[in-house]
Chain A
C-alpha cells in the first residue's frame, strides 16, 4: 500500500512538476530474507555492475582514441612502492656526508681492496640435516668460505679465534624445528652485526629447472633497491662477503633484492643471447631475509650497542613505511 501510494503521488506529481522525478521505492538486495533468492539477486547486481564498468572503460578508451595526441596521459596506478612514505635517510649518491661515511666505515678496507673476504659459516647447536645441507650449499655459493660445526661452543669465544685466523665475516645460521630460520651476519674485525629472520629457504634440489652446480668462479653481485642509509649499510655488508673482482667467465650472479623490507637472495647463471636479451637460470639455494637488528660491534647480545632494532609497535604502524 505504501508503494502504491508512493506511485500514485509520483504520477500526480509527474504532469504537475516534470522536473521532480520520483523513483519507485527500490529494495536493496540485503533485505531479502530468502538466501537463495538473495544470492541470485546479488549475482545479478554484480553482473550489472561489471557491465557498467566495462561500458565505462570502453567509452573512456574511445574518447582517448578520438582525442589522439591531445589525450590526457594515462593515470599511473598506485602501488605500494609509489605510495611509500618518504624516508629522510634515503641515500643521495651525491651526498658528501654519505660519501665520507662510506670512506671511513668498517667496510672501507674491503672496498679499498685491502682485505680479502674469508667467511666462516656455522650453525646453532645440533643442526639438523636440512640446515647442514643448506650450509654446505651456501659455502659453495660464497667463495672462500668454510663451514664449521658449532658443537656447543660459545660465540664469544669463537670470535677472538676467528679474528686470530684472519676471518673477515661470520655467518651463524639459527635453526628451529629442523629448518633454518635465522641468520646472524657479523663482520669480524670489530664490524657491525646484523640479525635477520630467514624464511622460505629452498635447497638446490627443491628448485625447479635448475642448472648444474655452481662452479668455483667468483660470482658477480647485484644489490637492488637499498635506498635508505640503513639499507645502504646492509647492502655494503652483503657486498663485502664476496671477493671484489668477479670472474666474468663464470657467468654467475648473486642477487640481493630488497623489496618492501624483504631481501630476496637468488643465485643465477646468465647467458647473453643477444645484446638485448639475456637468459638466466637459477642455480643455488634461495632464501629471503628480513632485518631484525643491527648492532655496532661484533655479536654481543647483552652489552651490545644496537644501531637499529625492529620495534614492532612503532615501526609497523603504517603499511607504506619501509626501512631498508
Chain B
C-alpha cells in the first residue's frame, strides 16, 4: 500500500508538499529528512521513518513506526537529544538501532547541520546587532513639515548677515576692515566709496603696505592706496586708474558667483576725465606724460 501511496503522490498525481523545479523536486513536509522528494525520503510513503528537528535551540529525534500508523496523534515519537554532540550521536544510534542504514545516516547528517547553524546563531548574536527602528509615517510627515516651516521662519541669510554686522560693530575683527564709524561721516559718501575700494584693496593684498606710496610716473606700484586720490596729480592718478582696473578684474575672478559689487558701484567717486591711450593690459604699463 505504501507503494501505491508513492505511485500516486510521488510520481503521478498531486502532492501538496511537493515543489518542482526544472531539475529537481523538493518536499515541503516538515518531517522530511532530506528535503528532497524521493521514494526513500517521503514521510508519507514510508511507514518506518525518523527525522531530527530543532525547537528553541534543542534537538529532538522524531520517529514513526508502522504500529502507530492508525493513531495519527501518537504517530510521531519524540526523543530529546543531549546537548553534547557526541552523546547525541550515540543517542541517535541507540534509538535507531536495527533501522535502515539510510535513515540513520541521514539523521546524523541532519543533526550535524543543525548544530552547526545553532552555533553560528549564537556567535552572531554576540556581535553587534543592527537595531531596526520603525518609522512612523505620520511622524515623519509632521517633522518634515515643521522643518520647512522652521526654515522659513528662521530667515537664515538675514540672521547671519545681522550677526556678522554685529560682530563688525563690536570690533571683533579689529583692524582688518577699515570702515569709518558712521557716526561722523554721513555726509561723506565719497569717503564711503573710497573706503569700499580701499577695503577691497586691503583684502586683495595680504600685507598692509600703506606706508610707502610712490608717485613716480615711470614706475609701477601695484599696491598703493587710494586714500588721497583727490590730491593726486593726473599722471599718477591715471596709473592708479590702470591698477584699479586690474584690481577690479582680479577681484572679479576671485569671487565669481557673487552679486556684482565691483563694477557699477565703483563709479561713486568723482569721475576723473583722463585720456590715455593704452589698453588695460597688465603687462603694458607705459609712462604717459
Q: Which residues of A contact B (CB under 8 A)?
A: 79-81, 125, 154, 197, 199-200, 209-212, 220, 222, 224, 248-249, 253, 255, 257, 259-262, 264, 266, 268, 270-276, 278-281, 288, 290, 312
Contact = CB atoms under 8 A, between A and B. Distances in A.
Nearest to A286: B156
B79 interface: no
Contact of B261 (A224, A257, A273, A290): A273
A220 B167 CA distance: 11
Which of B161, B163, B259 has its CB near the most chain A CB atoms (within 10 A)?
Answer: B163
B153 A276 contact: no
Interface stretch (B1-9, B82-90, B172-180): B172-180
9 contacts: A211-B257, A259-B151, A260-B149, A262-B146, A270-B164, A272-B179, A274-B196, A281-B258, A290-B147
Nearest to B163: A222
A280 B154 contact: no
Given A199-B147, A222-B160, A273-B261, A259 B179 contact: no
B219 to A, nearest CB: 28
Contacts of B174: 248
B154 A281 contact: no
Contacts of A209: 257
Nearest to A258: B154
Nearest to A259: B154
A271 to B, nearest CB: 7
Which of B160, B161, B176 has its CB near the most chain A CB atoms (within 10 A)?
Answer: B160
Contacts of B173: 248
Contact of B182 (A154, A199, A276): A276
A275 B192 CA distance: 9
A299 B84 CA distance: 39
A261 B163 CA distance: 20
Given A197-B143, A266-B160, 17 more contacts: A199-B147, A211-B255, A211-B256, A249-B176, A255-B160, A255-B163, A257-B160, A259-B151, A260-B150, A271-B258, A273-B265, A274-B179, A275-B177, A278-B161, A278-B164, A279-B258, A288-B147
B206 A249 contact: yes
Contacts of A271: 203, 255, 258, 261
Contacts of B177: 272, 275
A259 B165 contact: no
A197 B142 CA distance: 14
A249 B174 CA distance: 12
Nearest to B257: A209
Contacts of B128: 154
B159 interface: yes
A253 B150 contact: no
A272 B168 contact: yes
A273 B164 CA distance: 12
A280 B157 contact: yes
Contact of B160 (A212, A268, A274): A268
Contact of B147 (A262, A276, A280): A262
Interface string B179-212: 1111000000000100110010001001000000
A81 B153 contact: yes
Interface residues of B, number: 43
Interface string B109-141: 000000000000000000010100000000100
B159 A257 contact: yes
A211 B258 contact: yes
B68 interface: no
Given A272-B177, A274-B196, A279-B261, A266 B156 contact: yes
B153 A257 contact: no
Contacts of B164: 222, 253, 270, 272, 278, 280
Contact of B139 (A270, A272, A278, A312): A312
Contacts of A257: 154, 156, 159-160
A94 B180 CA distance: 33
Contacts of A279: 258-259, 261
A253 B160 contact: yes
Contacts of A210: 257
Nearest to B162: A278
Closest 7 CB pairs of A and B: A275-B179, A259-B154, A260-B150, A259-B150, A262-B150, A278-B164, A278-B161
Contact of A281 (B146, B192, B195, B255): B255
A290 B159 contact: no
A103 B206 CA distance: 37
B154 A264 contact: yes
Interface in B227-251: none
B163 A224 contact: yes
B180 to A, nearest CB: 8
A253 B172 CA distance: 14
Nearest to B146: A260
